[in-house]
């Protein structure tokens, strides 16, 4: 009996033929949020003139680029609370900090606006780059997409299967550029549990930033500009709302 021949080309084009163990990718997704939060703390401390405190040192170039990104996000209103994630925190970007007590982050320190926006910018932009790469790799041999709905279906089936090993469970649209994607068993939430439901929802929100970036990256790669919002009201379910931005003529 002849041995089966392993084709590198098939492995690179078939989303069901991964080159990395699934558990490794799961661990990477789990560690992305804590890493971004540690970097956000270091960035926040550097703004106060304490860049070498216990949160760890950061390079000047990294702090500079992160500072620019966060400042642009805050200035444009593209913050974790207003643009891409709903339900992240009760207070708005311009709310008076003394009016309501600050929520605590996973490290036990206050979850300030600068901290949340810094975490969001890092994870969403990382996801955006991943989404662009996935789109370019898995859409190159497909027929040209004819409309936005075809692109969304490609995202729900092919891309979601590559990243999370399952398809989106539900897709709704108003046929006017708004799409709602629901994953009833969102993989990053599968092993997540907290002492209270409210705590679980708050801690789960940052884990939606990276997938939002993936969605936006896929759409951008295929010529669609959009904003992406995500929320969870009951673990392990997650929903993503996509609003496409009409092109100016």
User: Collapsing DSSP states into helix, strand and coil, what is residue 176?
Assistant: coil
Give the predicted TM-score (pTM) of the model. 0.73
Confidence band, pLDDT 50/70/90 cuts, at residue 105: confident
Q: Between 196 and 122, where is the model more confident?
A: 122
Q: What is the pLDDT of residues 170-210, one digit of tens each?
A: 999 999 999 999 999 998 888 777 778 888 888 899 999 99
- Report the pLDDT value the prediction gives residue 6, as an integer from 0 to 100: 41
Residue 13 reports pLDDT greater than 90: no
Residue in the block written with tokens 């702090």? 63
Mean pLDDT (whole number) for 17-21: 60
Q: What is the pLDDT of residues 205-222, one digit of tens each?
A: 999 999 999 999 999 999
Mean pLDDT (whole number) for 34-59: 71
Q: Between 29 and 19, where is the model more confident?
A: 29
Q: What is the pLDDT of residues 21-35, one digit of tens each?
A: 667 777 887 889 999
Task: Report residue 230 as tokens.
Answer: 């995500």
Count of other CB atoms within 10 angstroms of residue 102: 16
238 closest CA partner among 175, 170, 177: 170
Q: What is the pLDDT of residues 125-170, one digit of tens each?
A: 999 999 999 999 888 888 889 899 999 999 999 999 989 989 999 9
Please tell me the total number of residues recorded for the chain in this structure: 249
- Report the pLDDT value the prediction gives residue 18, as an integer from 0 to 100: 57
- The ranges assigned to domains in the chain are 33-40+108-244
Residue 142 burial by CB count (10 A; 0-12/13-18/19+): exposed, middle or buried? exposed
Q: What is the pLDDT of residues 227-247, one digit of tens each?
A: 999 999 999 999 999 999 987
CB 128 within 8 A of CB 106: no
Mean pLDDT (whole number) for 88-93: 37
151/16 Cα distance (integer angstroms) = 20
CATH superfamily of this structure's domain 33-40+108-244 = Trafficking protein particle complex subunit 3 (3.30.1380.20)
- Report the pLDDT value the prediction gives residue 205, as an integer from 0 to 100: 92
- Report the pLDDT value the prediction gives residue 72, as an integer from 0 to 100: 54
Residue 226 reports pLDDT greater than 90: yes
DSSP 108: S
Q: In what order do the strands lie in the sheet with 178-183?
A: 170-173, 178-183, 238-244, 226-231
């Amino acid at each position: 009996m002849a041995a089966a021949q392993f084709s590198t080309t098939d492995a690179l084009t078939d989303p069901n033929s991964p080159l990395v163990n699934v558990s490794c990718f799961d661990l990477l997704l789990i560690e992305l949020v804590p890493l971004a939060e540690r970097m956000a703390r270091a960035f926040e401390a550097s703004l106060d003139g304490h860049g070498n405190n216990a949160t760890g040192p950061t390079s000047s170039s990294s702090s500079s680029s992160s500072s620019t990104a966060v400042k642009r996000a805050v200035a444009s209103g593209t913050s974790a609370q207003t643009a891409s994630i709903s339900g992240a925190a009760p207070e708005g970007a311009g709310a008076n900090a003394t009016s309501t007590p600050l929520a605590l982050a996973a490290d036990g320190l206050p979850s300030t606006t600068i901290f949340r926006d810094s975490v969001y910018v890092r994870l969403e932009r990382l996801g955006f780059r991943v989404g662009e790469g996935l789109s370019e790799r898995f859409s190159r041999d497909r027929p040209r997409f004819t409309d936005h709905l075809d692109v969304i279906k490609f995202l729900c089936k092919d891309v979601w299967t590559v990243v999370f090993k399952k398809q989106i469970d539900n897709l709704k649209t108003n046929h006017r550029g708004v799409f709602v994607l629901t994953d009833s068993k969102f993989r990053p939430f599968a092993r997540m549990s907290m002492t209270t439901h409210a705590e679980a929802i708050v801690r789960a929100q940052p884990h939606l930033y990276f997938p939002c970036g993936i969605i936006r990256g896929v759409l951008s790669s295929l010529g669609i500009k959009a904003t992406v919002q995500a929320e969870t009201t009951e673990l392990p379910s997650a929903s993503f709302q996509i609003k496409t931005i009409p092109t100016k003529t």
